[in-house]
């Protein structure tokens, strides 16, 4: 808030050398939100909004060129502290892009995670608003202009999609073989073994899949034979057809033919991820599991749930 008073206050804030814990989140929904998370502090949100744009009938902003739009109101909100909310009328005459560039300056240009929650923000508007800004992660909710948006954002290395934008299996396969650092796929995707084998990612998260024990057994064996060297973490759930009929993965079938060591459930280990999850966390506490060693000494831990078909695979780096 202090940095927004004047050019001098901005310069003083920059000299304080504040740096975010992980990233600067830019969220486009019914308003434009900038989320900042500083070390050892609660997060802070800056919401830019204008009630004249809201459409209560569909919950979306209209298709407007937000690159030139000046929102009427700004709400500064420190998480979970209702009494510390500050709302003020927009006096600077800034667009969303000007606020974005301001926050990038005072936080010494952190990574930007772009959360796209409204179809009104088309690719041309994205281009004008985000021009020259490096977007590391793109998270989308609903349909959007895939090809144009990916291009204007210079193809982010971390992707979270909930809706399948691909018109053919060929185009989807081309997407899977990209060298991504992070890939999260929600209910718009029904992942198969062939899909999983195509993915070149450090982190893979899948909400819906056709995968069963025999498929995961094949996937594990492919890793043991030296495939997917970049892989760090896989987390997936089998297809949820009927909650009452769901059964957990059978360990004996999944690990068939593999030499493993059972780790007691009361043993806890910390796994360090090179990329943060959707909550900004880089450290995962692993309890128990099944350890398998590759011929070169590389270790992988498999976690299974007792009450539903949930599978996690952690590939330990040599220095962990």
Which pLDDT tens digit goes with each residue over 112-144?
A: 999 987 666 678 888 888 889 999 999 998 888
Residue 63 pLDDT > 90, yes or no?
no
What does residue 9 show for φ and ψ, rounded to 5 degrees?
-65, -35
What does residue 89 show for φ and ψ, rounded to 5 degrees?
-75, 145
The pair of structure tokens assigned to 97 is 């892009």
Q: The pTM is what?
A: 0.88
What is the structure's pLDDT at 236? 94
Specify the residue for token string 């450090």.
202
**SS3 (DSSP) at 217:** helix
Per-residue pLDDT band at 87 (split at 50, 70, 90): confident
List all residues 6 or more positions away from 108 whose beta carbon is below 8 Å from its beta carbon. Answer: 14, 17, 18, 19
What is the structure's pLDDT at 215? 96
Other residues' Cβ atoms within 10 Å of the Cβ of residue 114: 23
Residue 284 pLDDT > 70, yes or no?
yes
The pair of structure tokens assigned to 114 is 């772009």
Give CA torsion, residues 60, 64, 66, 70, to 10 deg.
-100
The pair of structure tokens assigned to 242 is 């009927």
Per-residue pLDDT band at 314 (split at 50, 70, 90): very high
Report the chain's C-alpha Rg in angstroms.
Answer: 22
Q: What percent of the chain has pLDDT over 70?
A: 89
Residue 169 to residue 150: CA distance in whole angstroms: 19
Q: What percent of the chain has pLDDT over 90?
A: 49
Tallying the residues shown for the chain, one arrives at: 320
- The 8-class DSSP code of residue 225 comes to T
**Ramachandran region of residue 203, left (φ > 0), alpha (ψ -120 to 50) or beta?**
beta
Give yes or no for a contact between 118 and 29, defined as CB atoms under 8 angstroms apart: yes
List all residues 6 or more positions away from 10 whose beta carbon is below 8 Å from its beta carbon. Answer: 3, 4, 102, 105, 106
Q: 159 forms bridges with which residues in the sheet?
A: 138, 183
SS3 content of the chain, % helix, strand, coil (to 5): 25, 30, 45
Q: H/E element holding 90?
A: none
Give yes or no for a contact between 310 and 237, defined as CB atoms under 8 angstroms apart: yes
Give yes or no for a contact between 251 and 290, defined as CB atoms under 8 angstroms apart: yes
């Amino acid at each position: 808030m202090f940095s927004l008073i004047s050019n001098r206050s901005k310069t003083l804030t920059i000299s304080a050398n504040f740096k975010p814990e992980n990233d600067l989140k830019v969220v486009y929904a019914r308003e434009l939100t900038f989320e900042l998370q500083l070390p050892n502090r609660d997060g802070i949100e800056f919401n830019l909004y204008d009630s004249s744009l809201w459409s209560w009938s569909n919950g979306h902003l209209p298709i407007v060129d937000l690159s030139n739009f000046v929102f009427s109101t700004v709400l500064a909100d420190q998480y979970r502290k209702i009494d510390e909310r500050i709302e003020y009328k927009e006096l600077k005459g800034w667009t969303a892009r000007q606020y974005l560039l301001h926050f990038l300056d005072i936080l010494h240009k952190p990574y930007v995670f772009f959360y796209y929650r409204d179809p009104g923000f088309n690719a041309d508007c994205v281009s004008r608003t985000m021009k020259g800004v490096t977007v590391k992660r793109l998270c989308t909710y609903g349909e959007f202009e895939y090809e144009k948006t990916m291009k204007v954002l210079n193809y982010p290395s971390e992707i979270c999609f909930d809706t399948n934008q691909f018109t053919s299996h060929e185009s989807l396969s081309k997407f899977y073989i990209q060298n991504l650092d992070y890939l999260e796929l929600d209910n718009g995707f029904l992942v198969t073994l062939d899909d999983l084998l195509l993915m070149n990612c450090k982190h893979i998260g899948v909400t819906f899949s056709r995968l069963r024990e025999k498929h995961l057994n094949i996937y594990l064996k492919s890793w043991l034979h030296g495939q997917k060297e970049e892989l760090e973490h896989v987390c997936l759930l089998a297809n949820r057809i009927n909650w009452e009929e769901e059964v957990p993965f059978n360990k004996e079938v999944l690990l068939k033919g593999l030499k493993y060591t059972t780790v007691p459930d009361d043993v806890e280990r910390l796994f360090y991820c090179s990329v943060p999850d959707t909550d900004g966390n880089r450290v995962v506490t692993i309890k128990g599991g099944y350890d398998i060693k590759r011929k070169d000494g590389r270790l992988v831990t498999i976690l299974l749930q007792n009450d539903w078909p949930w599978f996690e695979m952690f590939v330990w780096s040599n220095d962990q």
